[in-house]
Structure 1
């Protein structure tokens, strides 16, 4: 794949030009963006996949849900439905997508979970509902310029920051690096938990934030327990299990489990993998299956593996958390 990307390098200037022109048309008002008189917060990235949008959305839900009626609005990637869908007790990962289904399962009636590939239409439908949300969190909508969020949170990973990347097809950027100027907050995600001030300052120098931008650093913290629908196990009690992942980058999870001296076999699928009947038959032969929370949402309907299926939760830890939280609350207050 890396060789193919290098071969396609001559296409980079064309992709760059097309995405730059599109953004310029929105920046200059040639193409119109819809603005709103209530809080619309966007969590997104410049690169394709794997920057930690889902745990960031969950962090914001926890921060805001006790004081406001909160809704999440996602595209619902790889769902089997079309148009606007509002998650309810009959929803599945197939009907709303694995990540929105995870939001609904985790927070239930504390948050409204909706999907619509047309975010403008999704916002309209949410606001037309009885008991309409007071805040809408847009999941992965940084490039959805038809909607102008009141506050943009841009995520970039510690191991593959946008400032060191190229646009597609050779690199992973969906648009030129200059798109970062639309962000109000930039979060460098998946950092080592012990990242020091010297390295943080080096990263800040490379990001070159605008005067109106704030930069934070976040890390993933893994639980010491795995959970099924009705049970839990301590990590240190696990032995000879099968790790199943269908995420963009499983390396941090693999490294964490190895650091615990755990022995396991890893079935590594592509991001948002649709598990086939053959996959399930293979998993039925495994004694214990550990997976991510997102993959758990897709695997839990299969009764044949339900008793052996567990997921490992993660949480996000943000440096200068109080300052970050205050920025979010101020953004909500002034929207």
Structure 2
């Protein structure tokens, strides 16, 4: 009850914030604020809501799709994000010496998984970053912008908007009463809507209900797709190979919303305890010492892939090789029929805009 009252008291401030964002969008729409139009095909992945909607798994899906199309070419695709949580500034192209503190946890995750086939870049001024990238690597043919829906200074060729099934934007409000970065009508800029983190058995009638709720805020021609998350086998820190004998686990996560992950772990393993940290948590050696000291015998420490890149950097070689440490890969899994339609739309957009 107290939380509900607090929310209603904050609604006037949400109205003010929403108006300010409306003015900002109007300035960009009217070209009173400068907009950069990239010369190479650019895809934006973002959301209206603060927190995780599955942007990194979506970026990974787009990367894998591009590598399958042209498997022999290296560096044709690049990703660009601001590098949330990094301690550096300016444009930077990831190299082997980079860490989560220099480029951010999610860019480092992408670098470890996809180098040398693509380039991973960070830069808070993305228009300038794109131009710098193309000067250094003019062979670049595709740029994937991570978390760029509100970055109006760059106009992408295709804008993919993600909505968490568990936190629909049509039931939410702008800051501070809600979690929206702008008003719901901002969804009209999207070319594709993907409802993420859906149950795999989501009924068609429920999908239709969600579509009806989204439709008033988007263009009539904008397609809506549904997808869940598919977790892989745990991967060993030591070998980076999948293992199948993990049973008892202590879970470690630094996510905006760890509930779906915890639910999956409870269903798949015997969950002893869950160490929950804030999204993009900067782990310390003290964090590791505390978690390892409390780790029961015959129990593995299980974490996410983006938390792995930070925790792994704090371990000694002996700890990495000897301790039962694992991370869970995760990928986008479209509901029945949607993957083919989604892929068809991507191909059509790419052919139209290249």
Instruction: Tell me which interval the TM-score lies in, with the shorter structure as reference length.
Output: over 0.9
SS for the counterpart of 2:35 is: coil
Greater shift, 224-233 or 315-324, is seen at 224-233
2:320 is matched with 306
2:29 is matched with 27
Conserved? CA contact 1:126–1:132, under 8 Å: no
Where in structure 2 are the equivalents of 1:191-202 lying within 5 Å? Answer: 191-202=198-209
SS for the counterpart of 1:125 is: helix
SS for the counterpart of 2:307 is: helix
The answer to whether the aligner puts 1:279 opposite 2:287 as a matched pair is yes
Q: Give the one of 12, 16, 23 matched to 2:14.
A: 12
2:103 is matched with 96
Unaligned runs of 5+ in 1: none
Conserved? CA contact 2:78–2:142, under 8 Å: yes
SS for the counterpart of 2:32 is: coil
Deviation, 1:242, is 1.6
**Equivalents in 2 of 1:261, 1:290: separation in Å?**
10
Compared CA separation, residues 235 and 266, structure 1 to 2 (3 A): farther
Conserved? CA contact 1:33–1:146, under 8 Å: yes
Deviation, 1:32, is 2.5
1:87 is matched with 94
Conserved? CA contact 2:246–2:300, under 8 Å: no
Deviation, 1:262, is 1.1
2:340 is matched with 322
Greater shift, 146-155 or 278-287, is seen at 278-287
Greater shift, 35-44 or 170-179, is seen at 35-44
RMSD between aligned residues: 1.8
Q: Deviations over 1:233-258 (max 9, x none)?
A: 6455322x321000111111111111
1:157 is matched with 164
Greater shift, 300-309 or 71-80, is seen at 300-309
2:278 is matched with 270
Unaligned runs of 5+ in 2: none
SS for the counterpart of 1:281 is: helix
Compared CA separation, residues 161 and 125, structure 1 to 2 (3 A): same
1:331 is matched with 349
Conserved? CA contact 2:234–2:326, under 8 Å: no
Greater shift, 224-233 or 49-58, is seen at 224-233
Q: Give the one of 202, 215, 223 matched to 1:214.
A: 223
Deviation, 1:231, is 5.1
**Equivalents in 2 of 1:110, 1:265: separation in Å?**
38
Compared CA separation, residues 197 and 274, structure 1 to 2 (3 A): same
Q: Deviations over 1:23-79 (max 9, x none)?
A: 111122222211123201000000101100000000000011242610000010010
SS for the counterpart of 2:270 is: coil
Q: Give the one of 190, 214, 237 matched to 1:228.
A: 237
Conserved? CA contact 2:43–2:159, under 8 Å: yes
Deviation, 1:108, is 0.8
Greater shift, 298-307 or 82-91, is seen at 298-307
Deviation, 1:131, is 5.1
SS for the counterpart of 2:34 is: coil
Conserved? CA contact 2:160–2:194, under 8 Å: yes
Q: Deviations over 1:123-165 (max 9, x none)?
A: 0111111354110000001001011111100000111111111
**Equivalents in 1 of 2:175, 2:138: separation in Å?**
42
**Equivalents in 2 of 1:37, 1:263: separation in Å?**
49
Compared CA separation, residues 129 and 28, structure 1 to 2 (3 A): same
**Equivalents in 2 of 1:237, 1:227: separation in Å?**
10
**Equivalents in 1 of 2:240, 2:134: separation in Å?**
38
Q: Give the one of 258, 264, 277 matched to 2:266.
A: 258
Q: TM-score, normalised by structure 1?
A: 0.94
Q: How many equivalent pairs are there?
A: 334
